[in-house]
Chains A and B, each alone.
Chain A
Amino acid sequence: MKSETAIDPKIMEEIIRFNKNVFNAPKLVSAPDEIILEVTPHDVVQEIDKTRLLHYRPLTDKQHKTPLLISYALINRYHILDLQPEKSWVRNLLQQGFDIYMLDWGAPTAMDKYLDFDDYINGYLDSAVEHIKNESSVEKISLQGYCTGATLATAYTTLHPESVKNYIATAPVIDGWRDTTVISNLSKNMDVDKMVKTIGNMPPEFMYYCFSVLKPFEQGIEKYVKFFKNIDNKQFVDNFLRVEKWLSDTPPIPGELFKQWIKDIYQENLLIQNKMYVNNNHIDLKKIDMPIFTQVAVGDHLVSPECSMPLHYAVGSEDKTLRMYPTGHVGMIASSLSQKKVLPELGKWLLERS
């Protein structure tokens, strides 16, 4: 007699195959530590403290005159914009003939705990812009900010509009009160003064916690199951490991900068209200009067669209474009959608203004 609780042989096959894949994984794939994330050749043209200015080597014979500087986020490293050739934001723009620079904020240590908005905006970012202007013999450059890097770039653009020809804000963190993400909820209830006084810089572990509460079961369990199931798929495995390595490379954020960030953006929401000051300089969004292109991802669970879109309506510019894409925070910059839709649209917009 056949038992009603008999297990389908296919299930057993699946379990055996899965276990075999787990066992074979170390023989088939590289350890994340062995993977080098930088793929597009570049030169380091300026180093200040722990920051580096990267200049990517051209991939076309002729380049458009106005160089583009990318101000990457303060969370994790810039590698996500150049993680692998077929999904590289940087490579795509180089292939479209743009001259690309990237500001790598580096990994701050305990001695950097007093670095603040002023150091990042009027120090590192301004030095990078000045360097590019001198090197390229131009009076103005194009500036792109991504995520928290866009908040810095936005503040920079209001303070130094004379240096920015075009401004691209990609998933910018602007209106903290409208942000509906988990990160915003945790930030609003944080005693940031006590945190910085007690531990100095914002520790990477805190960021890991914030990441782990975003889709905890899909990201915490299912993606690893998928990884072992697809262990024979070289392209899948390579992509997975690169993204994982990028995710785990979280530098600390300087204490003072983090404090200002949480207070001014998430708790008091000063930026969008035009009430924010950086070293006594008023950050007035109306001063952004050059062409601006705002890119927002509808499914962004790190910076919600409601948090980014207000920038489009707050700036003083008459030449302004807002684009919304059916993807997530990382999908907007490192996916096939970004290659097929986001970047061609950005390239077209930028070319008309470069």
Chain B
Amino acid sequence: MESQPTKETIEYYKHLSLFWTDLIHLMSSKPQALGSTGPMRAFATNSKKVATELIEINENLLEFNKYVTEYYKQLAETWNEAQKKVNLKAPEVPHDVEQIDAFKRIWIDIFDNDFTELFDSKKFGENYGKLVSKELDLTKHWNNITNVILQSANLPSKEEIDEVYKELHSLKKRITKIEIELKKKRDVNKNEK
């Protein structure tokens, strides 16, 4: 679990960052209006957004580290257990080509079985799900930062492009439906003639 002092420290820096970016924004918004069409447009507001995202990324990173540590712990434990089994089954050091081949076969079979058992397990599935979820949170913050940069360059954000894709998809469906109905009508007319 995240410790209380760490959380307080993050909150403090978050507050500090917001305080100064807000204050700078208030102090500088008028002279800045001169550059309202250039890339420095809304610089203070954008900086604030980016700073907030970066702070939140740090929060997510702590959680992400927890699950990634558990992920590698599970892999390491399975590796150690599998190696112990191999040592028990093939205690002798192989001396010739045939022995090496036999040893390799035993090693691969035991490692594949043990790792498949791990990947099939509930504890792996749950931790992996949480790990991916935290990775997605990190991606979300990265997307948000990218959106700020895109908008400062007068380019559409990911959400705005998604809206276009959604609209296109919906339009295509409507056109297909209309085409099918038209075809049916044409077929009926043809049959009537």
Contact = CB atoms under 8 A, between A and B. Distances in A.
- Does chain A bind chain B? yes
Interface in A102-130: 110-111, 113-115, 119, 123
B114 to A, nearest CB: 10
B162 interface: yes
A180 B107 CA distance: 24
Interface in A1-38: 8, 10-11, 14
B95 interface: yes
B97 A8 contact: yes
B120 A198 contact: no
A213 B119 contact: yes
A241 interface: no
Contacts, number: 81
B146 to A, nearest CB: 12
Interface in A162-210: 180-182, 185-186, 188-191, 194-195, 198-200
Nearest to B121: A185
Given A185-B120, A215-B112, A191 B165 contact: no
Contact of B112 (A119, A194, A217): A217
A11 B94 CA distance: 10
A217 B108 contact: yes
Interface residues of B, number: 36
Contacts of A61: none
Nearest to A116: B169
A217 B83 CA distance: 13
Interface stretch (B31-39, B44-52, B54-62, B132-140): B132-140
B11 to A, nearest CB: 25
A215 B128 CA distance: 18
B119 A182 contact: yes
A189 B121 CA distance: 11
Contacts of B116: 182, 213-215
A218 interface: yes
A189 B112 contact: no
Contacts of B173: 119
Interface in A68-113: 110-111, 113
Nearest to A114: B169
Nearest to A123: B176
A185 B125 contact: yes
Interface string A122-152: 0100000000000000000000000000000
B111 interface: yes
A4 to B, nearest CB: 10
B108 A191 contact: no
A329 to B, nearest CB: 15
Contacts of B120: 180-182, 185
A181 B119 CA distance: 9
A8 B132 contact: no
A342 B95 CA distance: 43
A183 to B, nearest CB: 9
B115 interface: yes
B166 interface: yes
A216 B100 contact: no
B168 to A, nearest CB: 7
A170 to B, nearest CB: 24
Q: Which 3 A-B pairs have the closest CB atoms?
A: A189-B129, A114-B169, A189-B125
25 contacts: A8-B96, A8-B97, A10-B97, A11-B96, A14-B97, A113-B165, A114-B169, A119-B169, A180-B120, A182-B116, A186-B119, A186-B129, A190-B132, A191-B129, A191-B133, A191-B136, A194-B136, A195-B136, A198-B139, A200-B162, A215-B112, A216-B115, A217-B107, A217-B112, A222-B108
Given A110-B161, A195-B132, 10 more contacts: A8-B97, A113-B162, A113-B165, A119-B173, A186-B125, A189-B125, A198-B139, A216-B115, A217-B107, A222-B104
